[in-house]
């Protein structure tokens, strides 16, 4: 993709049962802003994407609205709406300079598992795409790394993909966002940010294994297991999870 950062199909991974996650079902990315015609054609004509889920907050959505991709349904889900004064947006991350970048990120990953809006948001996400099983979908936030990263990890977990493969997909963000991150840091440098501030911001523009591990640890601590999280946190039924495996693995 020329104008969509961090775009990829999360299909193709093997599951613990010897099956494989189907390709051309789940796509993830960063924001869909100023998408060129060629990339729009790839989304619609090549990948056949029907549904687009936007996990950004209301402010992000208003300031940089998604392009209207003709032929798709747009669903906005603010995953951190209930976390007062905080979000995973770049602007809010930059503000939290009184904490180490790693501490900020680990706290956000805990909130993305436990916040009421996150639980309801991921529940809505799962229920909606399960209601449209034949429609390829794309889900994104601003950078496509944190809110989107957990979304991808949850989908792959529900499909019984091995943990190492889930981390593999998650960490691909560091390669796929490097060019965009370098450009953003250069822009911030010219805006007057100090080298210390830029170092702080740079750390938060990339993902670390420990962040996603924090999410899994939080799930285990509060729900007992990923299955417990799906059933008690997201209110998904056994049938939902069984249907998901039937639909999205082969």
Rounded to whole angstroms, the Cα distance separating 162 from 164 reads: 6
**33 SS3 class:** coil
Bridge partner residues of 138 (DSSP): 27, 52
Which range, of 41-55, 81-95, 99-113, 227-241, averages the lowest pLDDT?
81-95
Give all domains of the chain, ordered by start, each with its CATH number: 8-248 (3.90.190.10)
Q: 98 falls in which pLDDT band (50, 70, 90)?
A: low
Q: Is the dihedral of CA 13, 39, 7, 51 positive or negative?
A: negative
What's the pTM value of the predicted model, to 2 decimals? 0.93
Average pLDDT of the chain is 93
Rounded to whole angstroms, the Cα distance separating 50 from 68 reads: 12
């Amino acid at each position: 993709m020329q104008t969509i950062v961090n775009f990829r199909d999360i299909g193709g991974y093997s599951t613990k049962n010897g099956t494989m996650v189907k390709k051309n079902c789940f796509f993830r990315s960063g924001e869909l802003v100023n998408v060129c015609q060629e990339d729009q054609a790839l989304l619609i004509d090549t990948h056949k994407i029907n549904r687009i889920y936007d996990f950004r907050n209301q402010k992000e959505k208003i300031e940089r609205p998604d392009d209207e991709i003709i032929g798709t349904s747009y669903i906005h889900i603010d995953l951190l709406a209930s976390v007062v004064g905080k979000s995973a947006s770049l602007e809010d991350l930059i503000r939290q300079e009184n904490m180490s970048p790693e501490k900020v990120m680990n706290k956000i990953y805990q909130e993305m598992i436990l916040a009421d809006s996150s639980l309801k948001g991921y529940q809505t996400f799962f229920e909606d795409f399960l209601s449209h099983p034949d429609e390829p979908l794309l889900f994104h936030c601003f950078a496509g790394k944190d809110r989107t990263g957990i979304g991808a990890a949850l989908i792959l977990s529900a499909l019984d993909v091995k943990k190492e493969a889930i981390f593999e997909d998650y960490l691909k963000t560091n390669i796929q966002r490097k060019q965009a991150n370098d450009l953003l840091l250069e822009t911030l440098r010219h805006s007057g940010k100090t080298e210390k501030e830029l170092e702080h911001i740079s750390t938060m523009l990339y993902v670390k294994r420990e962040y996603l591990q924090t999410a899994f640890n939080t799930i285990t601590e509060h729900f007992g297991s990923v299955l417990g999280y799906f059933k008690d946190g997201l209110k998904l039924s056994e049938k939902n999870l069984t249907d998901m495996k039937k639909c999205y693995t082969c």
